[in-house]
Structure 1
Amino acid sequence: MTQILPPETRIGHVHLKVADIDRALAFYQGILGFEITQRYGTQAVFLSAGGYHHHIGLNTWESRRGRPPAPGTTGLYHTAILFPDRASLGAALKRIVEAGWPLEGASDHGVSEAIYLRDPDDNGVELYRDRPEAEWPRDAAGNLAMISAQLDLHALLAEAG
């Protein structure tokens, strides 16, 4: 029997094992712009956008000075961070470019626009914004027809102001 979740169900936060808290903070706080909401000594920190208790937890409880998982192993593919609009996604891209942080890719999926990169611990990170549902591409039968087209990063940067 398939269990149907309420449509308001959301993934509330992600908690990542990292090798070095300060290095991870330089990325998540320094480049992406999340704010620290609470620290637990030198081993854990919680980060948020807009004062929520936490969207991202970082800890070294089992991973201090550890290495990323080897390619070809199971684990988290990426954390997707949803931005409220194109201008805020463009501003995030601007901070990434100014920091000299490498991008892995950027795609227009029809339903969304996304930028892909890796954090200092080699975790995948997707930064994206959704288009309004009325703009989502659909086929003749009305089914969702997502795409993977090249995203115009120059146009997105221009949105940053």
Structure 2
Amino acid sequence: MAPSHAMPFLLYRAARCASLLLAVALCTGASRLVRPPVLDAPVASGANQAGPNAAALDAVWAVEQEWLQAMRRGDTAVLRRLLSSDHIHVGTNGRLRHKSELLLALQRGQVRFLTYDVTSYDIRITGTAAIVSGTYHAQLERLGVREISQGRYLRVWVRDENGWRLTAHQLTAGTVPRGRP
């Protein structure tokens, strides 16, 4: 896939990076996490194959929950800690934001989440990277206009000396029914 005139070079690089990380995970037979369904919990997909990665899977699940709560509250202090310094976020409209831009938009109230729910998820660990994919449903205010957003997401977490850091986050809006993998 070569960059087109319609897709900025950075967006191309971000998509390429996420694609390569996903390919590595799939080719290396990375472990999958599946948690049993619990009342009011997202639906996990796949079979439970945690094996030796069980501790890493639990740690990624915990940091995913911390990130989700911070997004719901607009807690930029927590997000500043969780996002890697080179974090990239690609929204449903294809807009690429770096860490500082995303935090500034949340801080200024340009984007505010009223609800943000993960409806299904899958976690794959390969080395020091974790790829989390699934479906989401959110109600938000963007520049004062209320919206409903639902679709699929892909997040790439990388473990460093300080723990797991969110490096890349891609959202794709769609009509994914709640609770369906």
Q: Smaller-chain TM-score range? A: under 0.3
TM, length-normalised to structure 2: 0.22
TM, length-normalised to structure 1: 0.23
Max radius of gyration: which structure? Answer: 1
Structure with more of its chain in strand, by fraction: 2
Structure with more of its chain in helix, by fraction: 2
